[in-house]
Amino acid sequence: VPSTTPQQQAESPPPTEPALLAACRHRQTEVPVWFMRQAGRSLPEYRKVREGIPMLVSCTRPELVAEITLQPVRRYGVDAAIFYSDIMVPLKAVGVDLDIVSGTGPVIAAPIRDAAGLDQLRALEPDDVDFVTEAVRILVGELGDTPLIGFAGAPFTLASYLVEGGPSKDYARTKALMLGDERLWGELCSRLAAISAEFLAVQVRAGASAVQLFDSWAGALSADDYRRFVLPYSRQVLSRIAELGVPRIHFGVGTSELLGLMGAAGADVVGVDWRLPLAEASRRIGRGYAVQGNLDPAVLAAPWPVVAERTRQVLRSGAEAPGHIFNLGHGVGPQSDPEMLARVVDLVHAEGAEIRAE
Ligand code: CP3
């Protein structure tokens, strides 16, 4: 609710507000927990239902999407579901010829490198993703009080796949286009912003209670370049969602130097990777924002006492922010042991409120 201050909100907490939404609005007592990529390859029940079904096909089957989205909620008792889909789904839906290759990621048939390439990007109409509307409706019915987080890719991260043609280490072609043809870059990112905003709006209209904008690869940029070439377009996406009244989480990897700008782009919550303690991240972002994160996913491979101590460290550091949603610093890896994630959830639920109150 952007028209009231956090303090005004704190005076009148609705009695049954889910912990995730309370954290977004700076009035939590519990610490909510969910995991990026909680639905996916680390779960045997996911691999079973996905058998023989290509990733992008699986995203178009509402009953299957609902099942996969619910799997981690059932198994872990996390405080939010993340919609099972992909940042590439809306691009596929407007007709971009692309695939998601297992073990590689998104692959684009005809990478966009000139003005003619932009013709691949028409506007997204809600009808293009009817299967999303249907899946969200099923989920909201089944989830009860557990919030569903909708998501989309931010313009920079989407552009990086479209321009490179696939995953990249240095984003050389993307930066070349950005720096070499600012007009074309602007047109590309404006179209992507409109597509992402519509994809999020579809999810919210169907019942999602919060959204996360993934700018996973924005950390490749300096703050100056982020401010000039990226922030205006991410702001377009986030400001459209502000009109819908749901909390907005804004996340990227390697963004320690960008956190303040990512908040200013129009987020309520800024996602933080594992490189910076949350207390320091929160100082950089400012008191107006909650934080989400940030256990290093690699820590999950350590013995439990180490995982437990690191989890408590994240809780203590997060307690210095006005709001804290516990998560990993990036997604669950395919090799992660589900048992370890279950223990982390239990620990956050058992000790989170007390550590926060200290
Ligand atoms: O559980 C969830 O987080 C919900 C579903 C979700 C997926 N992708 C499903 C998926 C979400 C939120 C995403 C977002 C996404 N997709 C991002 C941003 C998040 C991040 O991790 O930074 C990005 C960059 C993508 C693009 C993408 N799609 C990549 C890099 C990959 C992995 C490629 C690989 O195999 O290593 C995908 C495929 C993908 N998206 C899978 C899942 C479950 C794996 C598909 C499979 O092989 O089974």
Secondary structure, 3-state, 52-113: CCCHHHHCCCHHHHHHHHHHHHHHHCCCCEECCCCCCHHHHHCCCCEEEECCCEEEECCCCC
The confidence score (pLDDT) of residue 68 equals 98
Residues forming beta bridges with residue 212, ordered by sequence position: 151, 249
Tell me whether residue 8 is exposed, middle or buried, using C-beta atoms within 10 angstroms of its C-beta: 0 to 12, 13 to 18, 19 or more. Answer: exposed
Q: Express each pLDDT in 257-283 by its tens digit.
A: 999 999 999 999 999 999 999 999 999
Calpha distance 264→258 (Å, rounded): 10
Calpha distance 328→331 (Å, rounded): 7
Spot the catalytic one: 46, 161, 171, 289. Answer: 161
Q: Which helix (H) or strand (E) holds 161?
A: helix 155-164
CB 39 within 8 A of CB 82: yes
349 is in an annotated binding site: no
Whose C-alpha lies nearest to ligand 1, atom 32? Answer: 105
Residues forming beta bridges with residue 95, ordered by sequence position: none
In the residue annotation, 74 being an active-site residue is answered as: no
User: pLDDT band for position 14 (50/70/90)?
Assistant: low
Handedness of CA 300, 302, 304, 305 (dihedral sign): negative
Q: Is 99 in the pocket of ligand 1 (CB under 6 A)?
A: no
The confidence score (pLDDT) of residue 282 equals 98
Beta strand 98-101 pairing with 105-108: antiparallel
In the residue annotation, 173 being an active-site residue is answered as: no
Report the pLDDT averaged over residues 13-34. Answer: 91
Q: Which amino acid is at 261?
A: L
- Cα 86 to middle of ligand 1, angstroms: 6
Tell me whether residue 10 is exposed, middle or buried, using C-beta atoms within 10 angstroms of its C-beta: 0 to 12, 13 to 18, 19 or more. Answer: middle
User: pLDDT band for position 2 (50/70/90)?
Assistant: very low
Lowest mean pLDDT, pick from 14-18, 41-45, 81-85, 311-315: 14-18
Q: Is 173 in the pocket of ligand 1 (CB under 6 A)?
A: no
Mean pLDDT of the chain: 96
In the block, tokens 């490189």 appear at 275
Q: Express each pLDDT in 45-99 by its tens digit.
A: 999 999 999 999 999 999 999 999 999 999 999 999 999 999 999 999 999 999 9
* Strand residue runs (E) in the chain: 81-82, 98-101, 105-108, 148-153, 210-214, 248-251, 269-271, 290-295, 324-328
Calpha distance 193→139 (Å, rounded): 26
39 is in an annotated binding site: yes
The confidence score (pLDDT) of residue 16 equals 84
Q: Which fold, 32-286?
A: TIM Barrel (3.20.20)
CA geometry: angle at 39 spanning 95 and 335, to 5°?
A: 110
Report the pLDDT averaged over residues 117-143. Answer: 98
Calpha distance 241→205 (Å, rounded): 11
Q: What percent of the chain has pLDDT above 70?
A: 96
Q: Which amino acid is at 58?
A: S
Residue 213 scores a pLDDT above 60: yes
The confidence score (pLDDT) of residue 337 equals 96
Q: Give the CB-side neighbour count of residue 247, counting CA atoms within 13 A.
A: 27
Q: Express each pLDDT in 147-194 by its tens digit.
A: 999 999 999 999 999 999 999 999 999 999 999 999 999 999 999 999
In the residue annotation, 50 being an active-site residue is answered as: yes
Residue 4 scores a pLDDT above 70: no
Residue 3 scores a pLDDT above 80: no
User: pLDDT band for position 1 (50/70/90)?
Assistant: very low
- Terminal CA-to-CA distance of the chain, rounded, Å? 28
Calpha distance 110→10 (Å, rounded): 51
**Predicted TM-score of the model (pTM):** 0.95
In the residue annotation, 84 being an active-site residue is answered as: no
